[in-house]
Amino acid sequence: MDFILNFIIVVCLITTFIILLIGLFHTAKSGEEENNKINLFMRYRVAIQFVTLIILTVALFIKS
């Protein structure tokens, strides 16, 4: 069970980091047509961060 929780946590953290990098990349090369993509990636990042925090909270509750 610990391995599965640790694996899910790592996947969530890596996914959050990748989405953050993609959003920053789109921000760096932003143009007028890119504004919607920037907001979309940042919304994805916030949603994934929320899911990651929920998973971390549940994992801490289960492990203690």
**Could you tell me the residue range of the domain that residue 36 belongs to?**
2-63
Q: CB–CB of 26/37 below 8 Å?
A: yes
Q: What is the pLDDT of residues 4-41, one digit of tens each?
A: 888 988 998 899 899 888 888 877 776 666 667 778 87
- Which pair of tokens denotes residue 30? 């932003």
Q: What is the pTM of this model?
A: 0.75
Spatial distance between the Cα atoms of 6 and 40, rounded to a whole number of angstroms = 28
Per-residue tokens: 5: 């929780």
CA distance 11 to 16: 9
Tokens of 3: 């391995």
Question: What is the pLDDT at residue 53?
Answer: 92
> Total structural domains in the chain?
1
